[in-house]
Structures are given as structure tokens and as C-alpha cells.
């Protein structure tokens, strides 16, 4: 795997969110390549194509039409070829039970969707920086849990 940049995918049905997200990454110091998808079906179709470039980090919005974030999480976690992808869940819920359950189902990162651009940028920078350390220092991804 190329270590010079982090490959990122976002699945979110909200166009404004997708734009903010890609803008935020453009401003980070770490080199990233960002792809976006409009919903879970589009995302899973792409990931299941034979020559898909699998991301280092996958950001999933919980509420999407057709296939939501949790359904995608289940599908990804049940397939071994996706085991190296770090999964970040974007959610508006901050229920402790819900958060813990999402982690149990295999999410690595749980992000309460920030309401402003500055916070979003800060949060994404933190995710990418920590993921970078896991990526370059050979840390155990099974123990990678982060809540922001």
C-alpha cells in the first residue's frame, strides 16, 4: 500500500455535507485522496467491484436512503477482504447505548456530526492523524476505537 497519502471514502446523501467534507480535507497537511458516494447502495456497489481501490478510512453517514450506515457497516464487517478499512460513523445521536453498540458492531470511530466547519475540520484532522499513526506504526487495528 502506498504510504504517502491516505485514501478516504465518504458516503453521505447530503450534498452540502459532501462538499464541506472534501473542502476540509483539502486544507489538511496530510495528503489525502477523497472519493464520495451519495448513498449506501452506490458505496457497496463500488467496494464490491473487483478492481476497487479500498480506502484506509471510510466515513459513513448513519442516515442515508436505500441503504443506511449501519447496514453498510454489517456488510463490510462480514467480508474479510474489507478487514483493513478503518470505519468512521457520522451520527447525530449521542446516546451512550447506541454509540457502544456501533463500536461492538465493528466501527472504529464514532463522530458526532459537528455543526460548524471549523469543528468539522478539527475532528477530521484528528481522525486522519491518528489513523496515520495506526497505518505507519503497525498498531493493532482491532483495538482502534475513537469517539469524537
Partner 1 sequence: MKLFIKFDFNTVCRKVLEEKLIQHNIKHKILGFGEVDILEKPDTDVFKAFAEELKGYGIDIIENQKSVLVQKIKDTIIEMIHSPELVNVKSSVYLADKLSHSYGYLSNLFSDVTYTSIENYIILQKIEYAKQLIVSTDLSLTEIAFQLNYSSVAHLSTQFKNATGITPSAFQRIINKRREIANKK
In the complex, minimum distance from the CB of residue 38 to partner 1, in angstroms, rounded to a whole number: 29
Nearer to partner 1, 36 or 102 (CB): 102
Cα→Cα distances 13→43, 69, 120, 135, Å: 11, 11, 17, 28
In the complex, minimum distance from the CB of residue 16 to partner 1, in angstroms, rounded to a whole number: 26
Which residues contact partner 1 (rule: CB under 8 A)?
Answer: 29-30, 100, 103-104, 106, 110, 129-130, 132-133, 136-140, 142-143, 145-148
CA distance 25 to 8: 10
CA distance 74 to 79: 9
Nearer to partner 1, 104 or 116 (CB): 104
Nearer to partner 1, 41 or 99 (CB): 99
In the complex, minimum distance from the CB of residue 70 to partner 1, in angstroms, rounded to a whole number: 15
* Bridge partner residues of 32 (DSSP): 6
CA distance 95 to 139: 29
Nearer to partner 1, 46 or 132 (CB): 132
In the complex, minimum distance from the CB of residue 62 to partner 1, in angstroms, rounded to a whole number: 17
Q: In what helix (H) or strand (E) does residue 61 lie, and over which residues does it extend?
A: strand 57-61
Amino acid at each position: 500500500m502506498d504510504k504517502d497519502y491516505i485514501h478516504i471514502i465518504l458516503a453521505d446523501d447530503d450534498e452540502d455535507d459532501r462538499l464541506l467534507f472534501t473542502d476540509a480535507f483539502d486544507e489538511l497537511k496530510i495528503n489525502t485522496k477523497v472519493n464520495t458516494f451519495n448513498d449506501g447502495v452506490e458505496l457497496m456497489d463500488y467496494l464490491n467491484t473487483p478492481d476497487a481501490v479500498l480506502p484506509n478510512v471510510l466515513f459513513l453517514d448513519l442516515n442515508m436512503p436505500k441503504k443506511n450506515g449501519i447496514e453498510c457497516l454489517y456488510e463490510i464487517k462480514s467480508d474479510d477482504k474489507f478487514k483493513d478499512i478503518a470505519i468512521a460513523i457520522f451520527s447525530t445521536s449521542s446516546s451512550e447505548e447506541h454509540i457502544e453498540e456501533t463500536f461492538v458492531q465493528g466501527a472504529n470511530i464514532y463522530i458526532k456530526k459537528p455543526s460548524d466547519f471549523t469543528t468539522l475540520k478539527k475532528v477530521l484532522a484528528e481522525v486522519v492523524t491518528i489513523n496515520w499513526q495506526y497505518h505507519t506504526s503497525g498498531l493493532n487495528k482491532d483495538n482502534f476505537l475513537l469517539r469524537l
